[in-house]
């Protein structure tokens, strides 16, 4: 894809650069008019070897590399852009006036915008045979022109991720960290996501935590929840989800995930209660029963809230079916070891949970009529209901 030529415009801009120009610049100017860019750059290299402190030579070298880049395909422009950026920086370091500084910023912005926008267009378009290759070429060029522009790093990371080039995506973010003036929340969040994708759970947790420390945003917090879930740290996930729900009370997905994690925590408490009964530890039994009531109330509330917000969401329906089915199993197993005074209440609870499990599996059968598993599950639980709770 050829870029829109800025040659004529850039020549006009360059007039201010020519003020007080040397014989070298006059020769270079003639070569540029003839579009002999390679020869012009060679002449400038000779001039810079003799006068490296001449900021006008650095400015002209940068300008010509930008013009020269227009003759190349995107993948071949990066060298021109990197050299132009370096040359502009040298000119700034040696001392240029405010007008020249503005001209440099304008040139870099114009060429960067072309490359960045072309990269985004390729990323979102179907008109290219290899859109990800096209996109990454443009976005690498954009970064070469403005190495402190975070949006180009993020877009290039997305292109590499879509192309399943995870290592290059990570490298891009690492490069961004080195070039940005301060730690960036979005970069750390992306690194957390990619670490989680690679199964590097501890790294993911660390990156997400850094992101939250910089900017406590919802995406990073939810990413950290997923990292805790992957590392089987449900208590930490529950604690974080509790805070998220306070900030985003109407977020159905948070309701659902919170409920699922509370269910996992609840399962652990029920297993401990089973053991406390077996050990005849009445103090622990009392403590655990109270804790279980509190956790169960929260889990039911969150899972039901998610379901009521979207009764056709199969993930929400199935979570409730699994929740009540697991509760039924746990309570039925507990009947063998529970204290006599607790058996009737526990049996009634098991029957109640079994009915609800059947209800939600039947709902799944309605939502997914082509999957026989749900109908079979509902039927089996119905038969179990008849066997255990028909008096």
How far, in Å, are 120, 195, 302 from residue 167 at the CA level?
Answer: 21, 10, 38
Q: Is residue 124 situated within a structural domain?
A: yes
Residue 340, domain CATH: 1.25.40
Give the pTM: 0.81
187 inside domain: no
Q: Would you say residue 190 lies in a domain?
A: no
Count of beta carbons in the 10 Å neighbourhood of residue 52: 11
Measured CA to CA, the distance from residue 130 to residue 72 in angstroms comes to 18
Q: Per-residue b/e over 234-266, b at no fewer than 16 CB within 10 Å? A: bebbbebbeebbeeeeebbbbbbbbbbbbbbbb
Show contacts of 169-173: CB within 8 Å, 24+ apart. Answer: 169/194, 170/194
In a domain, 22, yes or no: yes
- Looking at 121, 146, 171, the residue that finishes a domain is 146
Domain-embedded: residue 77: yes
CA distance 333 to 123: 55
Q: What is the number of structural domains in the chain?
A: 2
Query: Do residues 261 and 375 share a domain?
Result: yes
Domain boundary, last residue among 113, 128, 146: 146
3-class SS of residue 384: helix
- Boundary of a domain, candidates 99, 123, 146: 146
Angle (CA) 143-148-153 rounded to 5° is 50
Q: Tell me the residue range of the domain where 291 lies.
A: 252-389
Q: Which residue in this structure is represented by tokens 């490359």?
A: 115
Give the pLDDT of the chain (391 residues) as one tens digit per residue: 445 444 443 443 343 344 334 688 889 888 988 999 999 999 999 999 999 999 999 999 999 999 999 999 999 999 999 999 999 999 999 999 999 999 999 999 999 999 999 999 999 887 666 889 999 999 999 999 999 999 999 999 999 999 999 999 999 999 999 999 899 999 999 999 999 999 999 999 999 999 999 998 999 999 999 999 999 999 999 999 999 999 998 899 999 999 999 999 999 999 999 999 999 999 999 999 999 999 999 999 999 999 999 999 999 999 999 999 999 999 999 999 999 999 999 999 999 999 999 999 999 999 999 998 999 999 999 999 998 876 5
């Amino acid at each position: 894809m050829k870029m829109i030529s800025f040659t004529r415009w850039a020549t006009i801009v360059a007039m201010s650069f020519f003020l007080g120009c040397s014989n070298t610049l006059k020769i270079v100017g003639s070569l540029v008019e003839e579009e002999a860019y390679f020869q012009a750059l060679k002449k400038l290299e000779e001039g810079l070897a003799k006068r490296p402190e001449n900021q006008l030579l650095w400015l002209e070298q940068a300008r010509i590399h930008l013009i020269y880049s227009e003759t190349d395909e995107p993948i071949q422009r990066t060298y021109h852009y990197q050299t132009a950026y370096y040359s502009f920086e040298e000119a700034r370091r040696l001392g240029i006036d405010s007008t020249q500084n503005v001209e440099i910023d304008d040139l870099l912005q114009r060429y960067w915008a072309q490359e960045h926008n072309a990269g985004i267009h390729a990323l979102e378009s179907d008109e290219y045979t290899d859109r990800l290759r096209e996109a990454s070429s443009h976005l690498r060029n954009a970064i070469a022109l403005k190495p402190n522009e975070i949006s180009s790093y993020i877009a290039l990371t997305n292109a590499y991720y879509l192309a399943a080039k995870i290592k290059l995506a990570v490298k891009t973010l690492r490069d961004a960290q080195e070039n940005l003036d301060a730690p960036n929340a979005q970069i750390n969040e992306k690194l957390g996501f990619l670490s989680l994708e690679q199964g590097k759970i501890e790294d993911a947790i660390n990156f997400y935590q850094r992101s939250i420390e910089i900017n406590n945003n919802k995406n990073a917090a939810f990413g950290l929840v997923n990292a805790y879930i992957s590392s089987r740290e449900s208590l930490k996930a529950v604690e974080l989800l509790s805070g998220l729900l306070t900030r985003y009370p109407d977020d159905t997905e948070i309701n659902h995930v919170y409920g699922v994690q509370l269910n996992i925590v609840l399962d652990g408490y029920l297993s401990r209660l089973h053991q406390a009964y077996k050990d005849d530890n009445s103090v622990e039994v009392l403590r655990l029963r109270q804790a279980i009531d509190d956790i169960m109330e929260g889990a039911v509330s969150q899972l039901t809230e998610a379901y009521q917000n979207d009764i056709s969401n199969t993930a929400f329906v199935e979570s409730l079916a699994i929740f009540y089915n697991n509760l039924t199993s746990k309570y039925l197993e507990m009947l063998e070891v529970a204290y006599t005074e607790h058996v009737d209440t526990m049996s009634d609870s098991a029957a109640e949970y079994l009915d609800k499990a059947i209800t939600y599996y039947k709902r799944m059968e309605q939502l997914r009529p082509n999957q026989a598993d749900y109908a079979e599950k509902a039927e089996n639980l119905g038969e179990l209901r008849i066997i255990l709770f028909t008096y």
